[in-house]
Structure 1
Amino acid sequence: MIRLLHRWFALLATVLLVTLAVSGVALSVFPTMEALTIPPAQQITVAQLASRVRDAEPTVEQIRRAPSGRITAYYFDGDQAASAVIDPATGKPVGPADTPAVERWLINFHRALFLGDQGRIITAVGAAIMLLMSISGLFLLVRRAGGWRYVLRPVRDQGKGQLHSVIARVTLPGLILSSLTALWMAAATFGYLPEGSGTQPFPATVSGKTGIALDAISTLQTTPIDELRSLNFPSANDATDVFTLKTTAGQGYLDQGTGAVLAWRAMSWVDQTSDLITMLHTGQGMAWLGLLLGLCAFGVPFLGWTGIASWLSRRGHGKVASVSASAADTIVLVASETGTTRGFAATLQSALTSNGLHVHVGSMTGFEPARWPKAKRIILLAATYGDGAAPACASGFLEVFKAVPPCPHLSLAVLGFGDRSFPHFCGFAAQIAEIAKTNGWAELLPFDTIDRQSPQDFSRWGRNLAKALDLDFELNHQPATAKTWSLTLISRRDYGASVQAMTAILRFDLPKASLWQRLTGQGFAPFEAGDLVGIVPQGSDLPRFYSLASSSKDGFLEICVRKHAGGLCSGQLTALEPGDAIPAFVRHNPAFRPLKTRKPVILVGAGTGIGPLVGFARANAAHRPMHLYFGARHPGSDALYAEELLNWSQDGRLASVTTAYSRAQTPAYVQDSLRKDAAKLCSLIKAGGQVLVCGGTDMAAGVAAALSDILAGDGIHLSTLKAQGRYAEDVY
């Protein structure tokens, strides 16, 4: 509901809000210009100021002090009314007091769109919409982050969505303040606020005397200039007239003959609040705040652009032609917050349909087995929003699912999509799987998860699904059409050629981005070791992903590639020569990297899986305890990064390096090395250590089995380490 309100208010009011915001940005500059041009403030009393002004301009009728500190005097120049900005040090005019024409135009436009009271109503409605959008946007940010305590952590979105979230997080406090104060001012304009102190009634009696010296009036002598609002002088030769004084404390009348206070009314809380709110909204008297609010308002056009662009891109997800629910043998239901999971559903639907299945794709809110007479299986693709919550579109699904009894002719698979860096990774999907197990649904596949929209995770799950269905397909998913950049190869190191197992370490130069691209987040994305580079080979539209062995701080992008027989991308990559270029893009993989602690890290890899592990070691300038276990075929042909590993062992970036070669004189696998170091590994893990594994699925399974055996005696389970973020795999 919050998302729908936020979206539709934005779509309906974008033009109005952008118009008000841009004019507000322009107006925010004037308080600063005024503060820079007014004469310096003086620590004097109102009596001293009034005396100086009257000496300079004997016909003065009124003195006003603006919240910015600017003093304006109104007097006569001959028989013409005049006004000027006054230097409080001398009381003399130093410049015109007229508001610049451009500022007057902007004020009238910003307040009422040149439409009078109707325009004021329109701008008030715009302020109300901005307030609702800002508050709903704030709650969406909190929900996406997983709670208030996570709201300031790095934004996890990508592209326009990331830019929208970043701008919103910076500007929302200012937009909420601006819209709240604008609504108060509108309510005051139309008389919807409680009555203020009002105008003090004119005194019934005066002394009838005239001519008291200004510095003899005690009230003026004790009132600092900083508290002055205005001082009106009595009319010349009218003994019944009085001084009218307004200050931050109240307003009243002073006898022009005796200086006595004839009447006084204190400022009400309504008046004081209105003055404060006017200052907060306009920046008059707080120029720095005016600039800050102007900067926040400047974000509104960008929020409109990025918000609409993100919405349009989400609308494009999941446009999958599917058979009707009554004719389908396979039901794929999706719960997605941003729409990306629907893209995975489209890939799945395409693969299943090409293998002869009749697939219906729909929303998880449409879970009604009675409508699926021909269905044999249900596949639930469930994204998790924020800290383990269901997407807004599936907020009531768990209650519905609990109430539906299992169907004997239907089997069920649950696949969760989430971000492992959140405390409750795939929490919503896990709840679905638990309910299915408790209620007795037949299992098509065990519950599984996809971390950070990983195509590799999805492909692995797809292979398991193909086996379960006795079909032959591969889920090659490209979540979105990514902008590619040209990466130029600057160097390569080759291994394994002598044993017909070509492996290469490829180093690419980073592409150049313009200043505008960097400011708008459209440049080549910064990356860390363990992130993925997507490479689109010639003759294919689908990227292949390789784990990065470097970070952008290193000034280059590096990967390890093994040439596979018939491999389209690996064949093209291993054929590159320095100077050749390839199209590529970066996809972040934050779940696979060392945690930000000083605890030990155990790095386990085989073959090209050493790539990201090398990147972690390269970045370990702080000499955090890192222990590397590396497996390969033969030391003579496959000793990847041998020189670097030796150097890093000597300079402390690696605490230890243990190698295992399966075709050496004494064959061994990396899991054998782990078992030999069982006592050491137990000690490291009990000390809070983290395990990062990279390589093929068989190697990863062997490593998991070895570590399970090693830790069993101490009552430590890999599932516990995974839940704590202390065991992560990058498996291909």
Structure 2
Amino acid sequence: MLRQIHSLPGWMAALFVTLLAVTGAMLSLHPLQAHLQSVQLAQGQATVAELAELAKQRYPGVEEIKRSADGIVSVYFSENNQVQRVQINPLTGAEIPEVHPSELFRWSKNMHRTLLMADTGRIVIGISALCTFILSISGALLVAKRAGGWRHFFHKAQGTQSQRLHVVVGRAALLGLLLSSSTGLYLSAGSLGLISEASEADPAFPDHFNDNTDNKAHATVPLGRFAALQSTDLRDLRSLVFPSANSANEPYFLMSNQGAGYVDASTGEMLTFEAHNTARKIYEWIYALHTGEGLWWLALVLGISALSVPALAITGVTLWWKRRKLRSEITDNSAPENAETLILVGSETGTTWKFANALHRSLRRAGQRVHTAPLDQLEQNYPSARHLLILTATYGEGSAPASAQSFLSKLREHTGLQSLRYAVLGFGDRQFPKFCQYAYEVDAALQEKGLQKLCPITTADRQSVQEFARWGQALTKAMPLDFTLEPVEDHRKTDTFTLIERIDYDDLTDAPSCVLRFQASALQQKKGGRRLPTLPHFEAGDLVAILPPETSIPRFYSLASSASDGFLEICVRRQKNGLCSRFLHTLKVGDTIKAFIQPNPHFRPEAGESPVILIGAGAGIGPLAGFIRHNVHRRPMHLYWGGRTQQSGFLYQEELNRYLKDHRLSELNTAFSRENEPSYVQDRIRANGDALRDLFSKGAQVLVCGGRDMARGVQEALDAVIAPLAMDTQTLITQGRYREDVY
């Protein structure tokens, strides 16, 4: 529901909200311009009496003095039967050249207030302000929910590039957008008469002047010594109206920040005064917060926040379209009452739907009648169904995703599912503390309901196509049904890379490893009249997706190099049934591959000087070696790595020894499982408990790369080591100090 609340006003008002934001950003420059044009006064530097005397001497026909919230002082005077206006320096009375608003500014102001459509435009503007407010509140709630609570609100954004940009820009602009929209909503309500607009103070005209229509008496006190004007600081002045030339004994009318009153033209005393009421003060305070008048720095903040709206609109619409497109790809969807197999999907951003679509097509090809729908659309009756397959993501801190908000409550009340056999595939990110928590809750609820499992629950880290494929193999055996799970294709554009160097490590096992270095093959850039190959941008820890021949399913490998190294480097262990690893191990220098880069920004050391603990096993050393290679500032880095044999299976041995000598690597701890005294990397961690606790007390962060079983053992070992510090790995994950890239 929260996502629908966020999406609906965004769609309804995207154009108007963007127009409102762009014109608001343009208007936000005016307070700064006025600030630079005006003479800034200190409190107590001058009084209204001094200014009035100065204006009267320099402009004998003065009728009124005004001071804007930005500090610009204007004098209106009569000359040759015409009213003239000049801007002056309030301390000297000298005229200041006036900067007139441009046509573009005036157009922007009218567009921002009424869309050039009078009252109809005011209504649209009010609705747009309301939509902006709703979008800001719902967006903040969505970010907090996805991050796992408000305390993680500003943690590094996860997801695709569009998702990260939408979150980062939205968070940065949140306070500004909330302030602009809430104050704009109040002002719109006032202009439309929905709330009463507070009027300015209107003091009663002094009674003893009512009948004095032709009094020519002269003032007994000089204007510059009027007590009422002397007691009013010039910074508080809004306007001072002089008596007319034909009735010099009429009182002066003074409007200040405190209120309004009439000043006796003979004695300079305040005759009547009325303070601004609370409603008026609130209105003026809200008006200043919205326009930035008198608060030029706030206007700039609001203007910068407003400029985020086009970016938010573009990324928001892009994300909505992708979610809708992925879901709409389901074809040949059988009716619920006719389906033999049910596929129910829990998705937040839409990515789970591409896996559901692949599963749907595979089962249809096998002759099954399949009904695929969101988890929330659980029906009461499925008379033909035999299997229930659930693919669901987890949102934030273990919550249900957008399309599964009511599933568990519906399931508890359901009475007709017990005959179904089910399987659950959970999608998530292991960097979140409650990885696939909702999938586990669904699995437990189905068991409690009495349904029988087809196969154990499976989890896929960051949309792993390999886990999806393994789950499909388990389904094939359990259903039983003769079908091949259709692969989830990735249609991103690939580049061609040529192998320029390979380093082989034959560790006397059936799973040798090698380090492969590639150069870009595509001619993408001109330099000095020649076309030279260039690498796409990437950093160590990012992923390269390689497409083996005769398949469109990429296999992902962690990068051991950055583009600045001039080559793309990976470390590959040959797997017995690994299609891609076996292909890579057959490559000769000069052979080419097709691949694309997938950024993996969460897996790299955070900036700073705190120690970094790198832990890996086997080919997982690749990105860790890349981090050390680029440690040019000699930040403390401690490597724990496990291999099989020291003599022929010590990956990166020469390079690591070189890094120890030049202090890019502070410490190297190795473990070998097929030596006379076998050990594993977690054994080294337990043995070095004291040293590790000292590093963690200094704010150390951990990066782990390798197999899932190794990563699980490392977590258990570290939990034991840091328990005396009242810490555990889940706490470190929450703090962003423990990151994994496991497979």
**What's the TM-score once normalised by structure 2's chain length?**
0.83
- 1:279 equivalent in structure 2: 288
AA in 1 matched with 2:642:
Y
* Correspondent of 1:628 among 641, 659, 677: 641
Cα distance between partner residues in 1 of 2:719 and 2:228: 84
Cα distance between partner residues in 2 of 1:595 and 1:39: 44
AA in 2 matched with 1:585:
I
Cα distance between partner residues in 1 of 2:673 and 2:494: 37
Question: Alpha-carbon deviations, 1:645-700, whole Å to 9, x = none?
Answer: 323455473634435375xxx6787xx4469769627778999899977556xxx6
Query: 3-state SS of the aligned residue for 1:425?
Result: coil
Query: 3-state SS of the aligned residue for 1:320?
Result: coil
Question: Alpha-carbon deviations, 1:4-44, whole Å to 9, x = none?
Answer: 23222222222222222222222122222222223454721
Deviation, structure 1 residue 509: 7.0
- 1:143 equivalent in structure 2: 145
> Is the 8 Å Cα contact of residues 515 and 569 (structure 2) preserved in structure 1?
no
Change (3 A) 1:510 1:539: closer
Q: Which deviates more, 322-331 or 248-257? A: 322-331
- 1:202 equivalent in structure 2: 205
**Residue 464 in 1 paired to residue 467 in 2?**
no
AA in 1 matched with 2:437:
G
Cα distance between partner residues in 1 of 2:496 and 2:614: 34
Deviation, structure 1 residue 242: 1.2
Change (3 A) 1:407 1:94: closer
- 2:397 equivalent in structure 1: 387
Query: 3-state SS of the aligned residue for 2:238?
Result: strand
Q: Which deviates more, 405-414 or 270-279? A: 405-414
Change (3 A) 1:380 1:50: same
- 2:184 equivalent in structure 1: 182
- 2:455 equivalent in structure 1: 445
- 1:517 equivalent in structure 2: none
Q: Which deviates more, 350-359 or 196-205? A: 350-359
> Is the 8 Å Cα contact of residues 333 and 364 (structure 1) preserved in structure 2?
yes
Cα distance between partner residues in 1 of 2:340 and 2:715: 41
Question: Alpha-carbon deviations, 1:151-194, whole Å to 9, x = none?
Answer: 11111121323222222222222122112222222233344236
Query: 3-state SS of the aligned residue for 1:628?
Result: strand
Cα distance between partner residues in 2 of 1:552 and 1:168: 30
Query: 3-state SS of the aligned residue for 1:199?
Result: coil
- 1:256 equivalent in structure 2: 265
- 1:20 equivalent in structure 2: 20
* Correspondent of 2:222 among 196, 213, 216: 213
Question: Alpha-carbon deviations, 1:543-565, whole Å to 9, x = none?
Answer: 22112224578776421135679
Deviation, structure 1 residue 497: 12
Question: Alpha-carbon deviations, 1:690-722, whole Å to 9, x = none?
Answer: 9977556xxx65896899899999999xxx968
> Is the 8 Å Cα contact of residues 670 and 681 (structure 2) preserved in structure 1?
no
Cα distance between partner residues in 1 of 2:139 and 2:718: 48
Change (3 A) 1:649 1:107: closer
Q: Which deviates more, 97-106 or 500-509? A: 500-509
* Correspondent of 1:680 among 674, 687, 695: 687
> Is the 8 Å Cα contact of residues 64 and 231 (structure 1) preserved in structure 2?
yes
Change (3 A) 1:149 1:250: same
> Is the 8 Å Cα contact of residues 678 and 710 (structure 1) preserved in structure 2?
yes
Cα distance between partner residues in 2 of 1:374 and 1:83: 84
Deviation, structure 1 residue 122: 2.4
Change (3 A) 1:556 1:155: farther
> Is the 8 Å Cα contact of residues 146 and 396 (structure 2) preserved in structure 1?
yes
Deviation, structure 1 residue 256: 0.7
Runs of 5+ unmatched residues, structure 2:
526-534
> Is the 8 Å Cα contact of residues 417 and 451 (structure 1) preserved in structure 2?
yes
AA in 2 matched with 1:389:
S
**Residue 315 in 1 paired to residue 317 in 2?**
no
Cα distance between partner residues in 2 of 1:677 and 1:237: 100
Q: Which deviates more, 164-173 or 397-406? A: 397-406
AA in 1 matched with 2:459:
T
- 1:37 equivalent in structure 2: 37
- 2:351 equivalent in structure 1: 340
> Is the 8 Å Cα contact of residues 545 and 554 (structure 2) preserved in structure 1?
yes
AA in 2 matched with 1:31:
P
Q: Which deviates more, 640-649 or 150-159? A: 640-649
AA in 2 matched with 1:446:
P
AA in 2 matched with 1:110:
H
Deviation, structure 1 residue 340: 0.8
Q: Which deviates more, 43-52 or 363-372? A: 363-372
Q: Which deviates more, 135-144 or 502-511? A: 502-511
Cα distance between partner residues in 1 of 2:109 and 2:304: 18
- 1:95 equivalent in structure 2: 97
AA in 1 matched with 2:163:
G
Change (3 A) 1:404 1:272: same
Change (3 A) 1:568 1:710: closer
Cα distance between partner residues in 2 of 1:487 and 1:604: 27
Query: 3-state SS of the aligned residue for 1:193?
Result: coil
- 1:11 equivalent in structure 2: 11
AA in 1 matched with 2:636:
H
Query: 3-state SS of the aligned residue for 1:275?
Result: helix
- 1:304 equivalent in structure 2: 313
**What's the TM-score once normalised by structure 1's chain length?**
0.85
* Correspondent of 1:414 among 412, 420, 424: 424
Deviation, structure 1 residue 422: 2.3
